Amino acid sequence: MSIGFLNRLLKALQKQSRGLNSYRLNQWFKWLSPGLAIKRWLLISLGGVLLAILGLAISVKLTPIFWAIELLRSFLAVIAEILPHYISGPLVLLAGLLLLVWGQTRTVGSITQVLRPDSEEELIDVLMAHRRLYRGPKIVVIGGGTGLSTLLRGLKTYSANITAIVTVADDGGSSGRLRQEFGVLPPGDIRNCLAALANEEKLLTELFQYRFKAGDGLTGHSFGNLFLTAMSDITGDLEQAVAASSQVLAVQGQVLPATLSNVTLWAELEDGRRVEGESSIPEAGGKIVKIGCIPPHPPALPAAIKAIKDADYIIIGPGSLYTSIIPNLLIPEIADAIAKSAAPRIYICNIMTQPGETQGYTVGDHIQAIDTACGNRQLFDAVLVHKKSPSPASLIRYAQQNSHPVFLDRENVTLLGRRIVLANVLHEDETGYVRHNPQKLARVLLRWYSGNHHGK
């Protein structure tokens, strides 16, 4: 009879708590996952409590322990007289476990409320996600413009060990004005990358991207550009300004200018003209045959070279070929470091041609332009090319601007010694504007890396 009663009691408790408690039990078992550095501290804390109790007992000649044991013995004796041991034992055990779980649940809940007051996410899930991201591969991404920031938004869900190396050749818009008026390096592309890597700091990110619409001298400037300019003046250079801004925005990874030199791009066109200035090159409307910079061999930022040497994975692009990607590779130390790296290296080709830069270019033409700019060296092993053509509406929209999908000339790409990675990574908005989808692009890149890394 007693055993049957116990079985019915256990079944009833199991049925009642199956829904919520199964989830809670699963959450609690996560705390025992390897690598969280939780179990060791719990054991140390428990050891401290036991030692403190033992010390107190010794100091009073063990009298409390004696009476505690006597009280416990009397209590157990009473229970044993009322209920058999095979019932009273499991009941006491169950009561102890319930108290333990209740106490620890309230403890973790209190900690979570302090650390993440507005979040519905469990603290253990946050810790496990943190561990996964910081164990991710060391990824170096090289480029500039909106293409780079788009890629970073996708990559940051796979790794926190991201370094974005950004061109500082921009001389147009807000960045160009600040460059002319204050003599600082252009902050625009760096600002976009910082915002892309910001970790759940929505209000600060919106503030950093806010662009003034009125005000004498303020119109057209973004708050982030002005902030970075002020920080550059306070800290002494753009590198320190970016580091300070990264702390404010809780950036996941790091953003580095390719160089701290005041670089000016120049391009020689097919008709013999020489055009200077990053913003002037696309507007010149000619075919680019050669590109360079002033000074001709700017020194690289040492931190950027170290990041490339330590990289598990190097990604070039996406972005404007001649004004976002190649300017980074015109810095000899950066090109040399990439060439010497044993990490998998991939180039993300643009989906559409760009008037004034890559009009009529194929995938092979993009690759050839990069190789030529870097002294005819192969800086990457593979090229990622979008698979499907944009919608007819988008094609018409772009054709009106003399822009067309980049044609994949497979034979030429193969002759250039590159592997082709085909994937559907396009995002097309309601206006027909085409760009890479951050999540799809990052997923394809990490899948390719998983199949090609060499266990550095």
Q: Per-residue pLDDT tens for 241-261? A: 999 888 888 888 999 999 999
Give whole-number Cα distances, 263 to 210, 259, 431, in Å: 27, 8, 35
What's the rounded Cα separation, in Å, for the pair 147 and 162?
Answer: 16
Please, which residues have CB within 8 angstroms of residue 323's CB and are 6 or more apart in sequence?
144, 145, 167, 169, 170, 265, 278, 281, 282, 357
Q: Which residue has the tokens 């009833």?
A: 12
Tens digit of each residue's pLDDT (9 = 90 or more) over 263-319: 999 999 999 999 999 989 999 988 999 999 999 999 999 999 999 999 999 999 899
As a whole-number percent, the residues of the chain with pLDDT over 70 amount to 83
Question: Which residue has better confidence, 102 or 31?
Answer: 102
Q: How many Å separate Cα 94 from the centre of its chain?
A: 45
Is a pLDDT exceeding 70 seen at residue 348?
Answer: yes
What's the rounded Cα separation, in Å, for the pair 177 and 230?
Answer: 14
Average pLDDT, the chain: 84
Is a pLDDT exceeding 80 seen at residue 102?
Answer: no
pLDDT at 59: 76
DSSP strand pairing (162-166 vs 264-269): unpaired
pTM of the model: 0.77
**Residue among 171, 162, 116, 112 at smallest CA distance from 142:** 162
Amino acid at 266: W
What's the rounded Cα separation, in Å, for the pair 137 and 450?
Answer: 10
The count of C-alpha atoms lying within 13 angstroms of the C-alpha of 294, restricted to the half-sphere facing its C-beta, is: 9
What's the rounded Cα separation, in Å, for the pair 185 and 180?
Answer: 9
Any idea which of 192-196, 272-276, 402-406, 450-454 has the lowest mean pLDDT?
A: 450-454
Is a pLDDT exceeding 80 seen at residue 350?
Answer: yes
Is a pLDDT exceeding 50 seen at residue 381?
Answer: yes
pLDDT at 29: 63
Is a pLDDT exceeding 80 seen at residue 139?
Answer: yes
H or E segment at 382?
A: strand 382-386
pLDDT at 409: 96
As a whole-number percent, the residues of the chain with pLDDT over 90 amount to 50
What homologous superfamily is domain 129-167+258-454 in, according to CATH?
CofD-like domains (3.40.50.10680)
What's the rounded Cα separation, in Å, for the pair 207 and 217?
Answer: 19
> Are residues 259 and 331 in contact, defined by beta-carbon separation less than 8 angstroms?
yes
Band of residue 34 on the pLDDT scale cut at 50, 70, 90: low
**Residue among 252, 412, 399, 386 at smallest CA distance from 318:** 386
